[in-house]
């Protein structure tokens, strides 16, 4: 089972992903893609850490997502990727312009083969105005394309709005 949970900032998407991971009854591995570059991000990371059960294994990986997923996905396991948007940001800001294409291709190539339950969390960025800055426009374009490609491989896609899950694809569980 593969799921994509999208939503805006503070929409409840992370809590929903954590709830769904607990409901699987499987051992959970939480793959954190954030980089604590400033105090605000450190505070966000700390809040996420406090919510997670101590029994969950945590892997911090800001770039090589496909390799981590391939190494840890297994039948009877649940992986939570928090989040695709931060992962994409890390790749866009990498000094090597080829890193994004290589990592994105690797993720999409491995995704169909991943065993177990995988839950991806991402910020929906395509519901606002077109940004004035070129990097921000590229980010929105890349995020939209990534989300569409991931959603095509997922069994369930949920948009979280105001803490309410809106099923876009798949069956209710």
Model pLDDT, residue 158: 98
Locate tokens 């969950």: which residue? 56
Note down the domain range covering 75.
2-169
- How far the first Cα of the chain sits from its last, in Å, is 12
Model pLDDT, residue 50: 82
The total number of structural domains that make up the chain: 1
Model pLDDT, residue 36: 81
In the chain, which stretches have pLDDT less than 70? none
Any idea what the CATH number is for the domain that residue 81 is in? 3.40.50.300
Is 117 a known active-site residue?
A: no
Model pLDDT, residue 44: 82
Dihedral sign of CA atoms 87, 88, 92, 93 in order: negative
């Amino acid at each position: 089972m593969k799921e994509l949970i999208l939503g805006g900032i503070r929409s409840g998407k992370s809590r929903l992903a954590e709830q769904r991971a607990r409901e699987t009854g499987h051992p959970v591995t939480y793959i954190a893609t954030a980089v604590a570059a400033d105090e605000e991000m450190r505070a966000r990371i700390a809040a996420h850490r406090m919510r997670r059960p101590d029994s969950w294994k945590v892997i911090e990986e800001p770039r090589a997502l496909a390799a981590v997923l391939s190494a840890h996905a297994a039948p009877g396991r649940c992986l939570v990727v928090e989040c695709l948007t931060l992962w994409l940001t890390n790749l866009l800001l990498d000094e090597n312009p080829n890193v994004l294409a290589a990592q994105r291709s690797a993720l999409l190539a491995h995704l169909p083969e991943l065993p177990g339950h995988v839950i991806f969390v991402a910020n929906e960025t395509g519901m606002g105005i077109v940004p004035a800055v070129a990097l921000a426009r590229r980010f929105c374009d890349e995020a939209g394309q990534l989300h569409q490609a991931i959603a095509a491989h997922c069994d369930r896609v949920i948009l979280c709005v105001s803490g309410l899950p809106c099923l876009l694809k798949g069956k209710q569980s």
